[in-house]
């Protein structure tokens, strides 16, 4: 994946976390993942089409998901992953991807995104055939959000 494609995802993530969840997301060390790879308890998946084809997966721990949903709902206590908290978390990923698509478009790179899908479970493994996966770790306080961008080589 071209490095110029990565920066809009980082910029969009940091902006949306700050504006929507009142959280600072610092960039960790970006690296390549080998398929299959293990994920956290919650995964939000967003498909990518256009100049970049593939998938973006946001991977977070359940405890952080509850804290994130609470922040997004102006501090309302969130103690379980119910429909409302799942919707909030999925919408955050949708906003990040929408902002990233806009930033890419402004650089002449047209992409479209699919609606987010949220998966939960324990010991989840993801396999991406014929795609390279770049992990963008976002450090949010003591927690980490892994943004995995898997793309086909065109």
Tell me the two tokens of residue 99.
């902002």
Q: pTM higher than 0.85, yes or no? A: yes
What does the alpha-carbon distance between residue 2 and residue 17 come to, in Å, rounded to a whole number?
24
CA distance 28 to 140: 10
62-to-27, 73, 84, 86, 149 alpha-carbon distances in Å: 21, 17, 14, 11, 21
User: Tens of pLDDT along 14-60?
Assistant: 999 999 999 999 999 999 998 888 888 999 999 999 999 999 999 99
CATH number assigned to the domain comprising residue 114: 3.40.1550.10
Whether omega for the bond prior to residue 92 falls within 30 degrees of 0, making it cis, is no
Q: How many domains does the chain have?
A: 1
Q: How many alpha carbons fall within 13 Å on the CB side of residue 81?
A: 16
pLDDT tens digits, residue range 52-84? 999 999 999 999 999 999 999 988 899 999 999
- Residues 55 and 33: beta-carbon distance below 8 Å: no
Helices 3-21 and 83-106 meet at what angle, rounded to 10? 140
* Residues of the domain holding 18: 3-152
């Amino acid at each position: 994946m071209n490095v110029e494609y990565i920066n809009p995802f980082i910029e969009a993530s940091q902006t949306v976390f700050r504006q929507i969840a009142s959280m600072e997301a610092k960039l960790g060390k970006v690296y390549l993942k080998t398929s299959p790879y293990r994920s956290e308890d919650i995964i939000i998946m967003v498909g990518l089409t256009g100049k970049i084809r593939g998938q973006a997966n946001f991977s977070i721990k359940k405890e952080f998901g509850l804290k994130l949903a609470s922040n997004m709902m102006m501090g309302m206590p969130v103690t379980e992953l119910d429909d409302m908290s799942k919707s909030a978390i999925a919408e955050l990923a949708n906003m990040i991807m929408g902002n990233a698509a806009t930033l890419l478009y402004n650089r002449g790179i047209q992409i479209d995104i699919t609606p987010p899908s949220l998966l939960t479970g324990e010991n989840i493994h993801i396999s991406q055939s014929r795609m390279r996966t770049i992990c963008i770790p976002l450090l949010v306080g003591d927690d980490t959000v892994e943004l995995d961008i898997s793309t086909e080589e065109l």
